[in-house]
Chains A and B, each alone.
Chain A
Amino acid sequence: MLEADVEIERGSFRVEARFASNAPIVALFGRSGAGKSSVIEAIAGLLRPRAGRIAVGGRVLFDAAAGIDLPPEERRVGYVFQDDLLFPHMTVRANLAYGERLTPAPERFVEARRIVALLGLERLLERRPATLSGGEKQRVAIGRALMASPRVLLMDEPLASLDAPRKAEILQYVELLRDELRLPIVYVSHAIEEVTRLADHLVVMAEGRVVAEGAVADVLSRADMVELAGRFEAGAVIEARVAGHDEAYGLTRLAFPGGELVVANVDALVGEPVRARIRARDVALALEAPSKASFQNVLEGVVHSVGHEFGAIVDVTLTLAGGERLVARLTRASVARLALAPGVRVFALVKAIAIDRRSVGFA
């Protein structure tokens, strides 16, 4: 259980954030400068809030009123930085061992061999950080943080300085961590794809304040998300299960209460729960189900709300048969032409290839 309630002052920038979560991964999402890193640094003890309280698993790390302020070395908080910050004068092995050695034996619950295997570090152990690639360095950084047996793992934009292939690689490792270790993770990012794949609980920050909080699917489909969090890639998240594969055409069917989604082949077993992100720009609406169109996905629903307008664009939120939310990004002209308004029955049209491998994460 992570509880954070902080008021931070950094020069003229004020951050006021309060959230609590039991979820395996809490994501702090928002644009650069929203205050996310400040909150993380406060949790780690590298920044002192003016007021507030921080507790992890019931253990109070900071409480201004009670005069409690544990120094970072006593907080047992693992921190993975955006720039790996590996110690350049030590080998990978020494880097990994650094925190482990400082953890009293009875408190160690992480086994070195397991972490090394989990993160694929065997061949890197005797190397020095300067000789590693970006992805390798980040994996070592994660391993180093874990080897100190932390009670919570903070990850501050860990993929920001990696290229696309490396990002995908590390993202998989983080998912692995979430599944294999029962360790709460706080994940900070400004990239919506990362957040939707990983997070269960989402905390959205803008200009130093928390503007939305809740389950990922719910928060993302709110019509006012765009104003709140900036013009990120609006979209929705559908939680489904793998229903079957179409080997011949390389497609996978995902089943959820409101219907079925056909997507490009997803490497998962039948029955596995997944999370599919559908970008608003990939959703078109129709008043009737088209009969001779290429759309693999035609989902029945009702318009929930028509959002604010951005020049020619407007986001329309709809509710599907099973209660799921979808967001469609349309032109105002189309909305007017189709006379879309709350309550109108519509069909959401989504191309299968719009939901690619990157858009599907494992819950």
Chain B
Amino acid sequence: MPTRDELEIVALSLKVAFWGVAASLPLAIGTAYVLARKRFPGKTLFDAVVHLPLVLPPVVVGFLLLVLFGRQGPMGRLLEPFGIVFAFRWTGAALAAAIMGFPLMVRAIRLGIEAVDTRLESAARTLGARRGRVFFTVTLPLAWPGLATGAVLAFARSLGEFGATITFVSNIPGETQTLPLAIYTFTQVPGAGLAAMRLSILSVLLSLAALAASEAFTRRRGVRSDA
């Protein structure tokens, strides 16, 4: 049976992962759409930049986040008057998680959008729908499997995010100490091996639950659109 503290750590991890994915989903959809449907100069470069978090060491990403979004960073200072603070807060952990999961989301959503027949979009336009309406009523619903997959992948990645998080927002219990950071801390302390193991088991259960939920979600929606 998990202790109160352990549940708090899990709750924080879920909160960070959820908001990380939710906040970056619209941008991921937009990016995926542009990459799937549009041609423009510099597209390859753009694609490469989107994939950077996938290939850069997480600590480097964390460091870049610190430089940009820390209290002294240009973005950090820009957002502070609006009450948006990332440094040493769970929002920073969510930002780190969102960035690390972004390429995975974009890839999956892009595949989903590419699978939608553009002629269906043309048909919708001849029926009087403007491009925006076509996107929301035809393209997006049909790209749903890609969206679901992307969100789940990013969520799972966020649950396991470590390097960027600890570098950017450090390891503050209750605020930024997500599950991986907590497990890590316990492995550092002599004699806390059992605590680390318990949290590891919780982590595995959580990931399995997330995967199962996404499986059910995609299948249900898939069935509805066929029959």
Contact = CB atoms under 8 A, between A and B. Distances in A.
Interface of A: 44-46, 71-79, 81, 83, 85, 87-89, 98-99, 102-103, 128, 130-131, 144-145, 148
B209 interface: no
B208 to A, nearest CB: 30
A85 B128 contact: no
Contact of A145 (B119, B127, B129): B127
Contact of B227 (A45, A76, A98, A128): A128
Nearest to B127: A99
A71 B132 CA distance: 13
Contacts of B138: 87
A131 B227 contact: yes
Contacts of A88: 142, 225-226
Given A88-B225, A128-B227, A102 B127 contact: yes
Interface in B103-140: 117, 119-120, 122-130, 133, 137-138
A99 B227 contact: no
B130 A73 contact: yes
What's the dominant secondary structure at chain B's contact region? Answer: helix
The listed residue with most B CB atoms (<10 A of its CB), out of A88, A89, A130, is: A89
B148 to A, nearest CB: 14
Given A87-B138, A89-B142, A131-B227, A144 B127 contact: yes
Contacts of B122: 46, 72, 85
Contacts of A102: 127-129, 133
B160 interface: no
A38 to B, nearest CB: 14
Contacts of B225: 88-89, 128
The 8 lowest CB-CB distance pairs between A and B, nearest first, are A99-B127, A102-B128, A72-B125, A79-B126, A89-B225, A85-B123, A148-B127, A89-B141
Given A81-B119, A85-B120, A98-B124, A73 B129 contact: yes
Contacts of B128: 73-74, 76, 99, 102-103, 148
Contact of B226 (A79, A99, A130): A130
Given A46-B125, A74-B128, A145-B126, 20 more contacts: A46-B122, A46-B126, A72-B122, A73-B125, A73-B126, A77-B126, A81-B119, A85-B119, A85-B120, A85-B123, A87-B123, A87-B138, A89-B141, A89-B224, A103-B128, A128-B226, A128-B227, A130-B227, A145-B127, A148-B127
B126 A44 contact: yes
A88 B119 CA distance: 13
Contacts of B120: 85, 87
B127 A98 contact: yes
A206 to B, nearest CB: 26
B163 to A, nearest CB: 40
Interface string B205-216: 000000000000
